[in-house]
Amino acid sequence: MARAKRNGGITQRSSGSWEIRYKVGVDEKEKVKRVTETIKGSRRNAEKTLRSRLLEIENKRYVDKSKDSLSSLLSEFMNGYAKIKCSPRIQAGYQGQINRYIDPFLGDLPFQDLTPTHIEKPYGAMSERGLSNQTIRHLHRLLREALSWAVKRKLLADNPTDVVDAPTVESKEMPMWDLPTLHRFLGICDDSKFGDFYKVALFTGMRRSEICGLTWDNVDLVEGRLKVSQTLHYINGVGLVTGSPKTERSRRTIPLAQDVIDLFHSIKGQLVADGLPSTGDAYVFVRPDGLPLLPGEVSKDLVF
């Protein structure tokens, strides 16, 4: 206890109750900052706790005790780190997960009291509701990132998600349409106001957000190819947001068959007839008022 005597002390408060004191550095005014804790049990237990605290301080792993809730920590994470590091779409997704799955189960819990058992609670509730393992893994990724940020900020000593296993997501083979189904789909396209949009999706394999974000300067009808370089989304409270494709591999060039080139010529011709722009950074697919189409409104139209 020699080191403990130099850097901390123990005082008995009552039978089975001890107060330990130790220095944790200096405050903003360069004054020595001391912490006291009440330890229940024997003196040996108090000595063990004091040695543990001093070792944490020596190894720079000590963090001040906080009663702040997990909700307040995540709010700080979202208003700081997430705004700098994450796209608006990812920020919106994170906030939705916090509102739906974290706040109802763990929001009021002091974040420094968070344990692996606590974290598994919303995972189990989500599974019982029939939510997919992929959805649970998305939540796990958010918590892991937020709590790792808290560790780096010296708000937590350890990240409790490190010992929590996220559920496994089994890869599934996507079903392929047969020729009768393809022809039926093309028939639906002919009767839909978004028929050309659906045909581009079918012939190129592009995602909805990629087609919505497609501009004419990325469509080369002479060489017969297009570049996928951005996406377009609508985020509540933010508005229209352009972003990068889902993965680096999603940034790609797609060769166009002659039928698809003819389709793009037809789309361009209709825009010209309607007095809408059809060159440069103008969007390929727009509403009658010239505003770009959004993934959500296109999907709502399709009943198959």
Instruction: Give mean pLDDT, residues 120-130.
Output: 91
Instruction: Give mean pLDDT, residues 221-232.
Output: 95
What's the token pair of residue 76? Answer: 């700080």
Q: What is the DSSP letter of 215?
A: B
Instruction: Give mean pLDDT, residues 184-201.
Output: 90
| Torsion region of 41: left, alpha or beta (phi above 0 gives left; psi -120 to 50 gives alpha) | left
Output Rg (C-alpha) for the chain, integer angstroms.
29
Give the sheet arrangement for strand 17-26, strand by strand.
8-14, 17-26, 32-40
Range in 54-58, 61-65, 197-201, 229-233 with the lowest mean pLDDT: 61-65
Is 90 exceeded by the pLDDT of residue 277? yes
Q: What is the DSSP letter of 185?
A: H
Asked: is 70-163 a CATH 3.40.980.10 domain? The reply is no
Instruction: Give mean pLDDT, residues 173-195.
Output: 86
Torsion from C-alpha of 81, 84, 88, 92, nearest 10 degrees: 10
| pLDDT computed for residue 4 by the predictor | 47
Question: Fold match between 70-163 and 179-301?
Answer: no
* Averaged pLDDT score across all residues of the chain: 88
Is 60 exceeded by the pLDDT of residue 21? yes
Q: Where are the domains of the chain?
A: 2-58, 70-163, 179-301
Of the pLDDT bands very low, low, confident and very high (cuts 50, 70, 90), residue 230 is: very high
Q: What is the DSSP letter of 202?
A: H
Architecture category of domain 179-301 in CATH: Orthogonal Bundle (1.10)
Instruction: Give mean pLDDT, residues 113-131.
Output: 91
Q: Among residues 57, 280, 295, 106, which one has the least CA distance to residue 194?
A: 295
Residue pLDDT, tens place only, 265-276? 999 999 999 999
| pLDDT computed for residue 161 by the predictor | 95
What's the token pair of residue 90? Answer: 């990812």
Instruction: Give mean pLDDT, residues 32-44.
Output: 85
Is 90 exceeded by the pLDDT of residue 253? yes
Do the beta carbons of residue 107 and residue 71 sit within 8 Å? yes
Sign (positive/negative) of CA torsion 130, 132, 137, 142? negative
Which DSSP helix (H) or strand (E) runs through 106?
helix 103-106
Residue pLDDT, tens place only, 52-109? 878 877 766 666 676 789 999 999 999 999 999 988 889 999 999 999 999 999 999 9
Three-state secondary-structure class, residue 170: coil
Q: What is the DSSP letter of 194?
A: T
| pLDDT computed for residue 303 by the predictor | 58
| pLDDT computed for residue 150 by the predictor | 92
* Distance, CA of 150 to CA of 279 (rounded, Å): 47
Is 70 exceeded by the pLDDT of residue 179? yes
* Distance, CA of 42 to CA of 48 (rounded, Å): 10
